[in-house]
Amino acid sequence: MKIEAFVFTIFFLTLGPIKIIPAFSNLTRGMTLEFKRKVAIRGILIAIAICLYVMLLGEGILRNYRISLEALEIAGGIVLLISALNTIFFKIQPPRSSSSDLTALQLAISPVSSPIIIPPVGIAAILIFIMWAPRYPGMDFVIAKTLLMIMVLNFLVMFFIDIILKVPGLILILQILGSVLVFFQVALAIETILDAFKKLGVLKG
């Protein structure tokens, strides 16, 4: 149960709905509800396909290139850290100037499926857990189940975005929660890097 909670926490931080609500809202502002829902459906299906691709082929690619788990943990920790620092210091909004000229499928492919739903840090998290799987029986099932749960949450917040944004005080709550989560993400990134260094013998346990 502990490993399940850990996997859920990481996926919620890197792939979860908290970051999707403001991004999807800004991207689709002024569009019809029908169009938003088309983008949501197509975007989540493409995102799920990306997750499946990473899960099924990611480990083989890493082994073919002889990338060790420690190297992956260090790289993932750095990406996790940079992602958190970008959230803290840079407020980048999705471009909206030409979004009205794009079809629902075009928006769903980019930027909705990636990088809004599946950012690079999310792919790094999936790869790290896939590499951990041989050490923990049943880990593959935990990864698949947790990813599906997160994708369902992501789809719901996009599909019902207009209703969600009408909830009083929601934006303020999301800002506070986001601040707490991003601090946790920084600490987690540093811990991941330190853990890899300990495994390599660079640091003492």
Mean of all residue pLDDT scores within the chain = 88
Report which secondary-structure segment, H or E, holds 113. none
Residue 163 CB coordination number (10 Å): 10
Is residue 73 pLDDT above 70, yes or no?
Answer: yes
Whole-number Å distance between alpha carbons of 25 and 29: 6
Residue type, 48: I
End-to-end CA distance of the chain: 25
Give residue-wise pLDDT tens across range 2-12.
Answer: 789 889 988 99
Residues 158, 48: Cα–Cα separation, whole Å: 15
Q: Of all residues in the chain, what percent carry a pLDDT higher than 90? A: 48
